[in-house]
């Protein structure tokens, strides 16, 4: 079973994009160069990876991605705060599954 990561990318205009992928480097290349990249990111390059964290299976990664997207931009831009929030989200998701 593949391991998914949550990643955040800063665009040229300062916006922050959140996504999940099994291979973040490959996914960033797709965003930059290919038609398989996210519509949101078209024309917003160059893209800079600002955060990446392995999460686990796709279901959990999707739940974490959804919660991260709802965070204020200030929290997304501070890696210490973001890491702590993601740990909390993982704990909450795991507790809900029990």
Q: What is the pTM of this model?
A: 0.91
CA distance 65 to 51: 12
Domain ranges of the chain: 4-97
Rounded Cα distance, 79 and 59, in Å: 23
Handedness of CA 44, 26, 72, 63 (dihedral sign): positive
Q: What is the DSSP letter of 1?
A: -
Over the stretch 33-81, which tens digit does the pLDDT of each residue have? 878 888 888 888 899 999 999 999 999 999 999 999 999 999 999 999 9
| CATH fold group of domain 4-97 | GIY-YIG endonuclease (3.40.1440)
Using the structure block, give the residue that is written with the tokens 């973001």: 82
Q: What is the mean pLDDT of the chain?
A: 91
């Amino acid at each position: 079973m593949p391991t998914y990561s949550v990643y955040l990318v800063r665009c040229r205009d300062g916006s922050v994009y959140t996504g999940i992928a099994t291979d973040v480097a490959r996914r960033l290349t797709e965003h930059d160069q290919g038609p398989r990249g996210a519509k949101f990111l078209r024309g917003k390059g160059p893209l800079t990876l600002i955060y990446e964290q392995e999460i686990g299976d796709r279901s959990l990664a999707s739940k974490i991605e959804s919660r991260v997207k709802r965070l204020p931009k200030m929290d997304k831009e501070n890696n210490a705060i973001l890491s702590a929030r993601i740990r909390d989200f993982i704990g909450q998701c795991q507790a809900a599954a029990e």
